Amino acid sequence: MPVRQMKEESSQQHPIVIKTHLQNSMNHPHKSPKAPQNGKCPPRQDLAPNSNKSQNETSPNSSNKNRSRRRGRGGRKSDQGDACTRPSSRPCTAADKPVASEDRLMGVIVPRTPNECAQNSRSLVKFPSSSRSCNFAPRPGYGQAGTKCIVKANHFFAELPQKDLNQYDVTITPEVASRTVNRAIMAELVRLYRESALGMRLPAYDGRKSLYTAGELPFVAKEFRIKLLDDDGGISGPKREREYKVVLKFVARANLHHLGEFLAGKRADAPQEALQILDIVLRELSTRRFCPIGRSFFSPDIRAPQRLGEGLESWCGFYQSIRPTQMGLSLNIDMASAAFIEPLPVIEFVGQLLGKDVLSRQLSDSDRVKIKRALRGVKVEVTHRGNVRRKYRVSGLTSQPTRELVFPVDDESNMKSVVEYFQEMYGFTIQYTHLPCLQVGNQKKANYLPMEACKIVEGQRYTKRLNEKQITALLRVTCQRPRDRENDILRTVQHNSYDQDPYAKEFGIKISEKLASVEARILPAPW
């Protein structure tokens, strides 16, 4: 309800802070009052056509013009709000005082004097102090229509652990943006210090800033030094060893009693912190086994990949999330599919992408643009160095063929061709010199890699838009009958072996291997 404090016209006038909605009373002064609807008070009767207007009031015509201007600027379409807050031209009398009842004015008391205005101005509208004080209304009951039956749901009941869950803040210096590198650092830390500094605890890590343990660690805060080999070195240089400083600091303890009360229906607000910890614990082993993308995990071992065309293939995976239900805590699992780049030699990938033979034909400018867009940001590994499989991320494509590329080999600007360099350095003969080279590294210091010496790294999701043929092929793979989907879900649960999961054992989480049975009703067909 709009509230606006009126200006005093004279020392004898008493302001009315809240007035009920008027149905365009300024434009229709002779209209008889209507019965109150929806808790609204009747319109004012004292606004006669010949009454004196205050300086703040305008004529109905000018009001309509201003209203139309407001509409043009995205303003309100109705002037009811303005009618509610226009100042009166005379004092309020006993005849036109609104009824000060909570039913009429929605719990807002209308003051009568300036002193009452000052006293009640702070209590006109009351809001709850927090969202936790607003509880949902209880469910009135359950439906009874239809024929009752029992159905199976893709939920697997979980037992609530009886151990204390502790959270620790993780600070890695220098800061790392990749979750994969963060996990490698923490895995090395656990491997080195689990039996000593970590007190035999097996923590779960979210890949960013939080580490969780079942029970307290022997310290409140501690610093560690971890060394890792860097995979992003130069083409000919050895791998560099990097040192990271890791600081673990105790933050809080999760309240599992709160979660138990919520599952029992004694609390209305779900403890998201405890649910998040349990979810991270159950995802820890799957993150190491499979390719994690969002809340899903993918692998070519779950089901044989299916080709989608133009160098892409579909991987089967599963979605996993811990959920509180009316029947208790459960693990929700469902099947998923996504498009991945096929781990092919780059030349073969380019041939599938362009749909033609590239080994004996020159590439056009449009072909180069298409290849550059498809391979930019893709990780490749070299194949010309035997067992040394260094990985690089593609940053571009050369505009010249390989046979024309030269680069300086020393400070005296002595030049050498790419073909000669690979022959002398690695004994590798480049056969398809008419093809361009891949550019890896940054723009200031880019290295050249021949296409035939590179292979696409496995497990890279394709994030660009699929064409119609690829979408059709992906939908054909994901479409399953209920029985087939049920069998795939059960096989996934058995393959994950939650009863043998070391992290689930560490935190005391037990997952059932049977689908949940849920009561259902077959509703009658609508008329």
Is 230 among the domain residues? Answer: yes
Is 140 among the domain residues? Answer: no
Q: What is the pLDDT of residue 154?
A: 94
CB burial readout 62-101, b (16+ within 10 A) else e: ebeeebeeeeeeeeeeebeebbbebbbbeebeeeeebeee
Q: How confident is the model at residue 123 (pLDDT cuts 50, 70, 90)?
A: very low
Q: Which residues, including other chains, have CB under 8 Å from residue 343's CB and lie 6 or more apart?
A: 455, 456, 457, 458, 459
Q: For residue 401, what are its two tokens? A: 């063929």
Neighbour tally for 196: CB within 10 Å = 9
Is 54 among the domain residues? Answer: no
CATH number at 369 reads: 2.170.260.10
Average pLDDT over all residues of the chain: 77
Asked whether residue 264 carries a pLDDT value surpassing 90, the answer given is no
Beta bridge partners of 330: 157, 323
Phi, psi at 80, each rounded to 5°? -65, -35
Q: How confident is the model at residue 178 (pLDDT cuts 50, 70, 90)?
A: confident
Q: Can you give the residue range of the structural domain that contains 197?
A: 162-254
Asked whether residue 299 carries a pLDDT value surpassing 60, the answer given is yes
The letter for the amino acid at 366 is S
Is 67 among the domain residues? Answer: no
Is 368 among the domain residues? Answer: yes
Is 178 among the domain residues? Answer: yes
Whose tokens are 């044989």? That residue is: 304
Final residue before a domain boundary, out of 238, 254, 270:
254
Is 41 among the domain residues? Answer: no
* Preceding omega of 401 cis (within 30 degrees of 0): no
Instruction: Indicate if 350 and 250 belong to the same structural domain.
Output: no
Final residue before a domain boundary, out of 435, 456, 477:
456
Nearest alpha carbon to residue 368 among 444, 299, 417, 438: 438
Could you give the 3-state DSSP secondary structure of residue 386?
coil
Asked whether residue 451 carries a pLDDT value surpassing 70, the answer given is yes
pTM given for the model: 0.68
Final residue before a domain boundary, out of 456, 482, 509:
456
Is 233 among the domain residues? Answer: yes
Looking at the chain, the whole-number percentage of residues with pLDDT higher than 90 is: 44
Q: What is the pLDDT of residue 188?
A: 93
DSSP string, 324-341: EETTEEEEEEEEEEEEEE
**Mean pLDDT score, 441-452:** 77
**Mean pLDDT score, 363-381:** 92
**Mean pLDDT score, 73-90:** 43
Pairing of strands 165-173, 210-214: antiparallel
Q: For residue 264, what are its two tokens? A: 């029992």
Strand residue runs (E) in 102-239? 147-153, 155-159, 165-173, 204-205, 210-214, 221-230
User: How many residues are present in the chain?
Assistant: 527
As for how many domains the chain has, the answer is 2
Q: What is the pLDDT of residue 209?
A: 93
Q: What is the pLDDT of residue 233?
A: 47
